[in-house]
Structure 1
Amino acid sequence: MCGFVGVLRNKYVEKTDLRKWDEALASIHHRGPDATGEYKDDWVQLGFKRLSIIDIEQGQQPLSYEGRYHIVFNGEIYNYVELRESLIKYGYSFQTNSDTEVIVALYAHMGQACVQALRGMFAFAIWDSVEEILFAARDPFGIKPFYYWESDERFIFSSEQKSIRHLTDDHELSKKSLQHYLTYQYVPEPFCLSTSILKLKPGYFLLKETNKKAVTKCFYHKMFSPKTDDFSVVVHKTRKVLEDSVEKHMRSDVPVGAFLSSGIDSTTMVALAKNHNPYLKTFTAGFEIEGYSEIDIAKESAEKLEVENIHKVITPEEFIKELRNIIWHMDEPVADPAAIPLYFIAKEASTHVKVVLSGEGADELFGGYNIYREPLSLKGINDLPNWLKAWLNKGSEILPDGMKGKSYLYRGTTPLEARYIGNAFIFSESEKMRMLTDYRPNQAYTEITRSLFREAISYGESSKMQYIDMHTWLPGDILVKADRMSMAHSLELRVPFLDKEVFEIASRIPDHMKIANGTTKFILREAVKDLIPDFILHRKKLGFPVPIRQWLRNELYDWAKDTINNSSTLGTIFNKSEITSLLEEHVTMKKDNSRKLWTILTFMVWYSIYEEAEMQNAKAEVVIQREYAFIN
C-alpha cells in the first residue's frame, strides 16, 4: 500500500511552495515509509510514498513509461500477471515486474477503457505529458481513497485530505456535510467536511486537462441482478470464486497474515488462505470487559484451523493515549467505535507482517446484517390496508420513547425509503435542530439515499437495504476505517470479498437464498461449511464489540466531560445544554446515549486537530518532527 499527492497547474501559475510541498508529502509518510519518489515538469508535480509489496527492488514510483506517461498508484492489481502476458503479445515491453507498470502500459494500449480490465483495489493518476491530460481512477468498491480539490489555478489530488490541507487554506467547514455526519456517523461520498474537497466516487474515473475543469465518469456501477439458478449451482460458484479471489489476494513478495474475529467472514478468509500458506499468522483484538472480547473464540478457531493466533487486549488507558493519533490518521471523523480495535490490532500485526487479509464486504455482498431479515418480521403489518397502516403510524408517534412496540409500529408503517439509510442512524432531524446552532432544514438525510432507492426500485426489501449499504456504509465507514487504521501502521489490508468476480456471483443471488433458515448469508455459509468450525458457522454476527457504553459511564467520563467543556464548538456549532444533557442522561443511565456521544466527541477531537486556528501550526510541527526527518 502507498500514498501519493499531486498538483496540476494551469498556465502561468507559480510552482508549488517547496516547504508546503514537503509538508504535504511528509503528512502521508505512514502510507509508504519504504521509499519516497517525485516527478515534476512544467505542468505537474507528483509525490509518492511507497510501501514495498510487489517487485520490491524495481517497483519505484512515480513510474514513467515510454517517456510520455507518468503514474502514481496506490493499491494492488491481482490479475496483473495475466494482463502483463497479454500486453507482451501486443508488443509492449516492461522494465519491472510491478503491477504499476502494467496499469500504465494498459492505459497506453486502451486509454480510458483500461479500468475495465483491472481486478483489484486501486486509486491512481496517470499524467500524459504529450496530450497534457491527467487520468485518474478509483476501484469499483472504494477500497482505496482518492481526494481532490480544484480552483482556476490548480488541481490538487491525494490519498488523504491532510496533504491537500497543507497545500491550500481553502477548506471551510461544510454545514451540509456536518448535518449528514450527525445522521450517518460519517460524511457520505463524494462529500467531505470541507466545502471544497471531494472524493472521487468508487467505480469512477476523472479527466483533467490543463485550463479545463475536471470531469468524472462512472465505469463500473454495482447493481444486483438476481437469477434463478439451482441452489447447489449457486453454492458451487460461490465457493469457486472465493477460492480464486483468495488465491489472487495472496500474491505478494512479503509475508501475508490475516485478521481473525469470531465471525464467519474472517474465518473463511483464514481457512482459504491457509491453503496457500500453512504458516499463516492471524491477529485478534479484544477488551477486558466480559462480552466485549472475541479473543477466546478466535483462539479456538485458530486451533481448529491449525494456524497461529496473536491477540491484543486493549485497555481504556491505551485508548485515551492513542485517541488523537487515531483521529488524526482517520483524516475525517468516522464515529464507528470498531475503528479502535482495528487500529490496535493493525499495530500488532505490523510487527509481524506487511500484508493482512480481512473479511470486509461479505455482509454487503452476501446479505449478512441482521437487519436484512427485518422484512420477514414486518410482513404481518406490511400486509395491512394502507388506511390502517397510516393510523398505526400516527399512533406510534405519540407512544413514549422506549415503549415496547413503538419501534415495530413505526418501522412496519413507514416506507423503507423514508427510514432506512444504512447501518447507523445517529441523530434525527428534530434532534439535530435542537443541537446545532445553524440547522438547515432543506438538507435532510434522505437526499443521500433518494437516488439510490430509485435505482433499486425493482429490488426486494432486503436487497434494497443491501444496495443502500453497498453505496454508502461500505465506502463511507467500513472501508475508510479499514484503510486508515491499517495504513496508520504501514500495513496493507486486502479484502478478498470485495473483488469484481466475487461480486458478479453475489449480485445474482436472490433474497430467499441469502436470508434463509433463520439466518443471514445463507449461501455463503453453505459454500464454506466444510471449511470452518460449526461454532463459527452458526454464530450470530457481532461485529467488533467495543465497550463505549460502559467506558463513557466510568473510565472515560472525566475525559468526555473535559472534551465537551473545553471544545470551541460549543456555542459556535453545538448548543452546550443539549450536549451536556446527552452526557448526564447517559451517566445516570436514563438513556443509552453512547453512540450519539461518541459521534459528537469524535467530531470535537477532529475539529480541535484540523480546524481550530491555534492548532494549525502545532499540527504542522508535530507532522514535521515525527515524519519529516526522512527528507533530510
Structure 2
Amino acid sequence: MCGFIGILRNDNVQAIDLDRWNEALQSIHHRGPDDTGNYRDERVEFGFKRLSIIDLEHGEQPLSYQERYHIIFNGEIYNYVELREQLIEQGVTFQTMSDTEVIVALYAHKGKDCVQDLRGMFAFAIWDIVEETLFAARDTFGIKPFYYYETKDRLIFSSEQKSIKLLTGQHELHQENIQHYLTYQYVPEPRCLSKDIFKLLPGQYLEKKPNQKAIITCFNKKSFLPEEKQFSEFTKETRQVLEDSVAKHMRSDVPVGAFLSSGIDSTTIVALAKQHNPALKTFTVGFETEGYSEIDIAKDTAEKLGVENIHKVITPQEFVTELEKIIWHMDDPVADPAAVPLYFVAKEASKHVKVVLSGEGADELFGGYTIYREPLSLKWINRLPKSIQVLMNKSAKLLPQGIKGKSYILRGTTPMEDRYIGNAFIFSEAEKKMLLKNYQRNQPFTEITKSMYEDAKLYTDSSKMQYIDLNTWLPGDILVKADRMTMAHSLELRVPFLDKDVFNLAKQIPDHMKIANGTTKYVLREAVKGLVPDSVQYRRKLGFPVPIRHWLRNELYDWARDLLKYSPAADQIFNREELLLLLEDHAIEKVDNSRKLWTILSFMIWYSLYEQADTTQSLKLVKEKTLAYKTVYTNAPAYSE
C-alpha cells in the first residue's frame, strides 16, 4: 500500500513551493515509509510514498513508461501476472516485475478501457505527456481512496485529504455535510466536511487536460441480478471463487498475515489462506469488559485451524490516549467505534507482517446483516391497507420512547426510502434540528440515497437494503476505517471478498438463498462447511465490539462531559445543553445514547484538529499534529530538484 499527491497546472500557473510540497508529502509518510519519489515537469507534480510489497527492488514510483507516461498508483492488482503475460504475447516489453508497470502498459495499449481488466484495489493517476491528459481511476468498491480539489488554476489530488489541505489552506466547513454526518456517522461520498474537496466515487475515472474542467465517468455500476440456479451449484461456485480470490490475494514478496475475529468471514479467509501458508499468523484484540472480547473464541478457532494467534487486550486508558491520533488519521471523522480496535489490531500485526487479509465485504455481498431479514418480519404490516398503516404510524409516534413494539410498528409503516439509509442511522431530522444551531431543512438524509433507491426500484426490499449498504456504508465507513487504521501503521490490508469475480457470483444469489433457515449469508455458510470449524459456521459475529456504552457511564464519563462542555464546536455548531442532556440521560441509564454520543465526541475531536475560526491557526494546528504524529515513523527524504 502506498500514498500519493499530484497536481495538474493550467497555463502560466507556478509550481507549488518545495517546502510546502515536502510538508504535504510528509503528512502521508505513514502510507509508505520505505521510499519517497517525485516527478515534476512544466504541467504536473507527482509525489509518492511507497510501502514495498511487490518487486521490492524495482517497483519505485512515480514510474515512467516509454518516456511518455508517468504513473502513481496505490493498491494491488491481483491478476497482474496474467495481464503481464497477455501483454508480452502482444509484443510488450517490461522493465520491472511490478503491477504498476502492468497498469500503465495496459493504459498505453487500451486507453481508459484498461480499468475493465483490472482485478484488485486501486487508485492511480497517469500523465500522458504527448496528449497532455491526466487519467485517474478508483476501484469498483472504493477500497482505495482518491481525494481531489479543482480550481480555475489547477487540479490537486491525493490519497488523503490532509495533504490537499496543507497545499491549499482550504478549510471552510460544509454545513450541509455536518448534517449528513450526524445521521450516517460518516460523510457520505463523494462529499467531505471541507468545502470543495471531493472523492472519486467507487468505479469512477477522471480525465483532465490543462485549461479544461475535469470530466468524471462511471466505468462500473454495481447491480444485483439474481438467477435461479440450484442451491448446490451456488455453494460449489462460491467455494471455488473464494479459493481463487484468496490465492490471488496471497501474492506478495513480503509476509502475509490475517485478522481473526469470532465470525465466519475472517475465519473463512484464514482457513483458505492457511492452505497457501501453513505458518500463517493471525491477529485479534479485545477489551477487559465482560462480553466485549473475541480473544478466547479467536484463540480456539486458531487452534482448530492450526494457525498461530497473536492477541492484545485494550484498556480504556489506551483507548483515550490514542483516540486523537486515530481521528487524525481518518481525515474526516468516522464515528464507528470499531475503528479503535482495528487501529490496535493493525498496530499489533505490523510488528510481525507487512500485509494482512481481512473479511470486509462479505456481509454486503452475501447478505450478512440481520437487518436484511427485517422485510420478512414486516410482511403482515405491508399487506394492510395504506389507511390502516397511516393510523398505526400516527398512534405509534404517540407512544413513549422505549415502549416495546413502538420501533417495530414505525419501521413497518414507514416507506423503506424514508427509514433505511444503511447500517447506521444515528440522528433523525427532528433530533438534528434540536442539536444544530444552523439546521438546514432542505438537506434531509434522504437526499443521499434518493438516486440509489431509483436504481434499485425493481429489487426486493432485502436487496434494496443490500444495494444501499454497498453504495453508502461499505465505502463510507467499512473501507475508510480499514484503509486508514492499517495505513496508520504502514500495514497493507487486503479484502478477498471484495473481488470483482466474487461479486459477479454473489450478485446472482437470490434473497431466499441468502436469508434462509433463520440465518444470513446462507450460501456462504454452506459453501465453507467443513472448511471452518463447526463452532464458527453459524455463530453470530461480534466484529471487534467496543464497550463505549459501559465506558461512557463509567470510565469515560468525565472525559466525555469535559469535551462536550469545553470544545469550541459545542459553542459554534451545536446547542451545548442538548449535548449534555444526551450524556446525562445515558449516564443514568434512561436511554442508550452511546452511538449518538460517540458521533458527537468524534466530531469534537476532529474539529479541534482541523477546523478553527481562523484559517491560518487551523493550518498551524494541522501542521503541528502532522509533525507530532509523524515522529513515530522513519524519517523520509525530502524532494529536491
Q: TM-score, normalised by structure 2?
A: 0.98
Cα displacement string for residues 35-72 of structure 1 (whole angstroms, at most 9, x for unaligned residues): 00000000000000000000000000000000010000
Give the structure 1 partner of residue 619 of structure 2.
Answer: 616
Where do 1:528-547 residues align within 5 Å?
528-547=528-547
Q: Confirm or deny: 8 A CA contact 1:389 1:413 kept in the other structure.
A: yes
Where do 1:119-518 residues align within 5 Å?
119-518=119-518
Cα displacement string for residues 91-127 of structure 1 (whole angstroms, at most 9, x for unaligned residues): 1110000000000000000000000000000000000
Specify whether residues 618 and 418 from structure 1 end up closer, same or farther in structure 2 by C-alpha distance, changes over 3 A only. closer
Specify whether residues 7 and 171 from structure 1 end up closer, same or farther in structure 2 by C-alpha distance, changes over 3 A only. same
1: distance between equivalents of 2:46 and 2:628?
23
Deviation at 1:622, TM superposition (A): 3.9
1: distance between equivalents of 2:535 and 2:154?
56
Specify whether residues 190 and 622 from structure 1 end up closer, same or farther in structure 2 by C-alpha distance, changes over 3 A only. closer
Cα displacement string for residues 406-453 of structure 1 (whole angstroms, at most 9, x for unaligned residues): 111111111111110011100000000011000000000001111111
Give the structure 1 partner of residue 49 of structure 2.
Answer: 49
Q: Which of 621, 627, 630 is matched with 1:627 structurally?
A: 630
More displaced 10-residue stretch of structure 1: 580-589 or 27-36: 580-589
1: distance between equivalents of 2:538 and 2:570?
47
Q: Confirm or deny: 8 A CA contact 1:369 1:541 kept in the other structure.
A: no
Deviation at 1:619, TM superposition (A): 3.0
Q: Which amino acid aligns with 2:163?
A: S
3-state secondary structure, aligned to 1:586: helix
More displaced 10-residue stretch of structure 1: 208-217 or 620-629: 620-629
3-state secondary structure, aligned to 2:569: coil
Q: Confirm or deny: 8 A CA contact 2:169 2:619 kept in the other structure.
A: no
Deviation at 1:535, TM superposition (A): 1.2
More displaced 10-residue stretch of structure 1: 493-502 or 559-568: 559-568
2: distance between equivalents of 1:297 and 1:268?
15
1: distance between equivalents of 2:439 and 2:21?
37
Deviation at 1:206, TM superposition (A): 0.3
Q: Confirm or deny: 8 A CA contact 2:36 2:636 kept in the other structure.
A: no
Q: TM-score, normalised by structure 1?
A: 0.99
Q: Confirm or deny: 8 A CA contact 1:72 1:124 kept in the other structure.
A: yes
Q: Confirm or deny: 8 A CA contact 1:609 1:616 kept in the other structure.
A: no
Unaligned runs of 5+ in 1: none
Specify whether residues 611 and 140 from structure 1 end up closer, same or farther in structure 2 by C-alpha distance, changes over 3 A only. same
1: distance between equivalents of 2:624 and 2:388?
63
3-state secondary structure, aligned to 1:630: coil
3-state secondary structure, aligned to 1:233: helix
Cα displacement string for residues 352-391 of structure 1 (whole angstroms, at most 9, x for unaligned residues): 0000000000000000000001011111211112221111
Deviation at 1:616, TM superposition (A): 3.0
Unaligned runs of 5+ in 2: none
Deviation at 1:281, TM superposition (A): 0.2
More displaced 10-residue stretch of structure 1: 412-421 or 467-476: 412-421
Q: Which amino acid aligns with 1:318?
A: E
Deviation at 1:469, TM superposition (A): 0.1
Q: Confirm or deny: 8 A CA contact 1:4 1:73 kept in the other structure.
A: yes
3-state secondary structure, aligned to 1:583: helix
Q: Confirm or deny: 8 A CA contact 1:73 1:124 kept in the other structure.
A: yes
Q: Which amino acid aligns with 1:232?
A: S
Q: Confirm or deny: 8 A CA contact 2:399 2:406 kept in the other structure.
A: yes
1: distance between equivalents of 2:123 and 2:171?
22
Q: Which amino acid aligns with 2:517?
A: N
Cα displacement string for residues 256-285 of structure 1 (whole angstroms, at most 9, x for unaligned residues): 000000000000000000000000000001
Q: Confirm or deny: 8 A CA contact 1:330 1:480 kept in the other structure.
A: yes
Give the structure 2 partner of residue 90 of structure 1.
Answer: 90
Specify whether residues 625 and 601 from structure 1 end up closer, same or farther in structure 2 by C-alpha distance, changes over 3 A only. closer
More displaced 10-residue stretch of structure 1: 615-624 or 184-193: 615-624
Cα displacement string for residues 141-188 of structure 1 (whole angstroms, at most 9, x for unaligned residues): 000000000000111000000000001022311011100000000000
Deviation at 1:570, TM superposition (A): 2.0
Q: Confirm or deny: 8 A CA contact 1:286 1:293 kept in the other structure.
A: yes
1: distance between equivalents of 2:371 and 2:485?
27
Q: Which amino acid aligns with 2:309?
A: N
3-state secondary structure, aligned to 1:544: coil
Deviation at 1:623, TM superposition (A): 2.1
Number of equivalent positions: 632
Specify whether residues 402 and 626 from structure 1 end up closer, same or farther in structure 2 by C-alpha distance, changes over 3 A only. closer
Cα displacement string for residues 539-565 of structure 1 (whole angstroms, at most 9, x for unaligned residues): 123222100011111111111111112
Cα displacement string for residues 471-494 of structure 1 (whole angstroms, at most 9, x for unaligned residues): 000000000000000000000000
Cα displacement string for residues 502-548 of structure 1 (whole angstroms, at most 9, x for unaligned residues): 00000000000000000000000000011111111111232221000
3-state secondary structure, aligned to 1:110: helix
Identity of aligned residues (%): 69
3-state secondary structure, aligned to 1:296: helix
More displaced 10-residue stretch of structure 1: 455-464 or 611-620: 611-620
Structure 1 runs of 4+ aligned residues shifted over 4 Å read none
Q: Which amino acid aligns with 2:630?
A: E
More displaced 10-residue stretch of structure 1: 527-536 or 487-496: 527-536
1: distance between equivalents of 2:586 and 2:619?
33
Q: Which amino acid aligns with 2:237?
A: K
More displaced 10-residue stretch of structure 1: 390-399 or 94-103: 390-399
Cα displacement string for residues 123-142 of structure 1 (whole angstroms, at most 9, x for unaligned residues): 00000111111000000000
1: distance between equivalents of 2:545 and 2:427?
21
Deviation at 1:625, TM superposition (A): 5.5
1: distance between equivalents of 2:450 and 2:2?
35
Specify whether residues 622 and 418 from structure 1 end up closer, same or farther in structure 2 by C-alpha distance, changes over 3 A only. closer
3-state secondary structure, aligned to 2:396: helix
Q: Which amino acid aligns with 1:359?
A: G
3-state secondary structure, aligned to 2:482: helix
Deviation at 1:571, TM superposition (A): 2.5
Q: Confirm or deny: 8 A CA contact 1:4 1:49 kept in the other structure.
A: yes
1: distance between equivalents of 2:25 and 2:77?
24
Q: Which amino acid aligns with 2:589?
A: M
1: distance between equivalents of 2:170 and 2:311?
43
Specify whether residues 626 and 337 from structure 1 end up closer, same or farther in structure 2 by C-alpha distance, changes over 3 A only. closer
Give the structure 2 partner of residue 18 of structure 1.
Answer: 18
Deviation at 1:615, TM superposition (A): 4.8
Q: Confirm or deny: 8 A CA contact 1:181 1:188 kept in the other structure.
A: yes
2: distance between equivalents of 1:600 and 1:624?
26
1: distance between equivalents of 2:299 and 2:366?
26
1: distance between equivalents of 2:161 and 2:628?
20
Deviation at 1:19, TM superposition (A): 1.4
Q: What's the RMSD between the two structures over aligned residues?
A: 1.0
3-state secondary structure, aligned to 1:570: helix
Deviation at 1:621, TM superposition (A): 3.2
Give the structure 2 partner of residue 115 of structure 1.
Answer: 115
More displaced 10-residue stretch of structure 1: 139-148 or 371-380: 371-380
2: distance between equivalents of 1:624 and 1:538?
47
Cα displacement string for residues 319-348 of structure 1 (whole angstroms, at most 9, x for unaligned residues): 111111000011110000000100000000
Q: Which amino acid aligns with 1:561?
A: R
Q: Confirm or deny: 8 A CA contact 1:254 1:355 kept in the other structure.
A: yes
